[in-house]
């Protein structure tokens, strides 16, 4: 049998073959596998994310990509893990996850030791400035809200207190209230427990609770790098109080929180999903704006999709999945709102806006797609009602007008998805979810709810 002669000299054929063998092997057309000693993903930052949720999301992505023998193993340091897997051809694939606090994630992006920063609070101005060589870190491409969490203020199960105001919590952690009897509890010294300075959980607590009230954390506070250990410490100390991400409440007792004129709110899934709960927070992935890593893009897309959000929920956080909520009718509701509660259902999403702007924020832009997909899946055409809210103004009519304009801004965006709300309601500064005496509180009160019937 004759053979087709080579079109290249023997030496060049061998060189070409070696070059082809050296190319990355792909799990799919878009996910190349580098040499075994090179991780496909390097994630650093928040312990809240990195302890369980981050590894679970990477495992889910690996499974979706067709990898096999997926497993976790400890890293070289505490609070570090590796996710290992193999391609069908036997090549090892590795992702590294280090969970030492949100601030460390941004530092790792800066020095090139991470592909993604996991953060349990928004990027700070100084961090965004230092990372400007990587692009606009607040752009929709760079900033990804991956889940909603609630900071639970936790006590020992035997503590008789069930409700605290945000101001009382601030005074407790500043050391101004040092005996539980001051708040009507059993006499005894207050023992304080908090996350360490690298933690996004601590940053969020400081920004939501301490800083707006001019307080600093008491030097008598016991600090923890691990959320698990903090929760265990509070649940075993009858005089203890701490703050923690929602999945880490465990055996402790979470108290209801009051902010300004808001009603007491437990860290329930529905109140956290809508971000009405005073100590709710967003969890983030941050990537360079023009990241060229296909694995980074694949993880973000997976996380934002239904499978990723299901993993978010299984890990105890609040998924951004749109669901209907039946709101109980209360006699002190504004009449139009009370009528809605009796006739319609509220969706588990609030549209919020960029600070000082009429433009929707990055989460709201994603939520537009989620709301549109949810409504288009409904078997029957449902009426859509948008309810806008705002912060306190000297002129109530101005507050009502601004709240209505916010709802109209959302209506314009929904129209791009061929959805046309039948009714727009502006309720001004009614039903606040946060105090209007603080900038962050006013920002939270500026929101638009979606109702269907």
Separation in Å, CA 424 to CA 338, 400, 418, 448: 15, 12, 17, 10
Looking at the chain, which residues constitute the CATH 3.40.190.10 domain(s)? Answer: 10-146+284-314, 149-270
Mean pLDDT of 408-412: 97
Looking at the chain, which residues constitute the CATH 3.30.1330.60 domain(s)? Answer: 322-452
**16: which residues sit within 8 A by CB, 6+ positions away?**
8
Token pair of 10 as six digits = 């023997």
Portion of the chain with pLDDT greater than 90, in percent? 79
pTM score > 0.85 for this model? Answer: no
Return contacts of 231-236, CB within 8 angstroms, 24+ apart.
231/154, 233/193, 234/154, 234/155, 234/156, 234/193, 235/154, 235/156, 235/157, 236/156
User: Looking at the predicted structure, is the pLDDT value of residue 26 above 80?
Assistant: no
| Tens-place pLDDT, residues 413-450 | 999 999 999 999 999 999 999 888 888 888 889 999 99
Q: Find out whether 241 and 190 touch, Cβ atoms under 8 Å.
A: yes
CATH 3.40.190.10 for domain 10-146+284-314, yes or no, is yes
| Tens-place pLDDT, residues 58-81 | 999 999 999 999 999 999 899 999
Residue 28: band (very low, low, confident or very high) from pLDDT cuts 50, 70, 90: low
The fold adopted by the segment(s) 149-270 is D-Maltodextrin-Binding Protein; domain 2 (3.40.190)
CATH level 2 (architecture), domain 322-452 = 2-Layer Sandwich (3.30)
| Tens-place pLDDT, residues 147-162 | 998 899 999 999 999 9
Mean pLDDT of 227-240: 97
Best CA proximity match to 317, nearest among 114, 26, 52, 59:
52
| Orientation angle between helical segments 53-64 and 294-304, nearest 10 degrees | 100
User: Looking at the predicted structure, is the pLDDT value of residue 304 above 50?
Assistant: yes
């Amino acid at each position: 049998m004759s053979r087709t002669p080579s079109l290249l000299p023997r030496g060049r054929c061998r060189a070409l073959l070696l070059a082809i063998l050296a190319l990355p092997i792909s799990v799919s057309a878009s996910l190349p596998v580098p040499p075994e000693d090179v991780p496909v993903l390097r994630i650093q930052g928040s312990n809240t994310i990195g302890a369980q949720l981050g590894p679970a999301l990477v495992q889910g992505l690996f499974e979706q990509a067709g990898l096999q023998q997926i497993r976790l193993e400890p890293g070289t340091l505490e609070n570090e893990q590796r996710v290992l897997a193999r391609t069908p051809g036997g090549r090892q694939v590795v992702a590294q996850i280090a969970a030492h606090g949100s601030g460390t994630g941004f530092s790792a992006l800066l020095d090139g030791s991470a592909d993604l920063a996991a953060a349990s609070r928004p990027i700070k101005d100084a961090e965004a400035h230092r990372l400007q060589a990587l692009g606009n870190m607040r752009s929709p491409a760079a900033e990804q809200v991956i889940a909603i969490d609630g900071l639970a203020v936790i006590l020992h199960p035997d503590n008789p207190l069930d409700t605290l105001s945000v101001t009382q919590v601030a005074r407790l952690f500043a050391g101004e209230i040092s005996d539980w009897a001051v708040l009507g509890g059993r006499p005894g010294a207050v023992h304080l427990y908090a996350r360490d300075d690298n933690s996004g959980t601590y940053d969020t607590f400081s920004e939501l609770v301490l800083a707006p009230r001019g307080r600093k954390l008491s030097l008598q506070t016991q600090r923890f790098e691990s959320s698990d250990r903090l929760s265990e410490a509070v649940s075993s100390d009858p005089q203890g109080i701490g703050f923690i991400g929602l999945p880490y409440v465990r055996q402790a007792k979470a108290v209801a929180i009051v902010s300004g004129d808001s009603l007491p709110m437990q860290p329930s899934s529905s109140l956290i999903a809508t971000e009405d709960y005073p100590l709710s927070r967003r969890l983030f992935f941050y990537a360079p704006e023009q990241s060229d890593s296909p694995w980074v893009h694949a993880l973000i897309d997976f996380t934002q999709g239904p499978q990723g959000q299901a993993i978010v929920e299984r890990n105890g956080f609040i998924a951004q999945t749109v669901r209907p909520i039946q709101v109980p009718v209360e006699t002190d509701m504004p009449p139009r709102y009370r009528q809605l509660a009796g006739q319609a259902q509220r969706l588990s999403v609030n549209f919020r806006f960029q600070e000082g702007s009429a433009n929707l924020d990055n989460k709201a832009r994603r939520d537009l797609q989620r709301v549109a997909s949810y409504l288009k899946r409904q078997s029957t055409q449902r009426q859509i009602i948008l309810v806008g809210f705002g912060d306190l103004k000297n002129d109530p009519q101005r507050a009502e007008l601004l709240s209505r304009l916010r709802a109209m801004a959302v209506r314009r965006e929904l129209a791009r998805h061929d959805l046309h709300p039948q009714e727009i309601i502006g309720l001004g500064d009614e039903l606040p979810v946060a105090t209007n005496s603080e900038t962050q509180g006013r920002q939270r009160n500026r929101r638009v709810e979606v109702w269907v019937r």
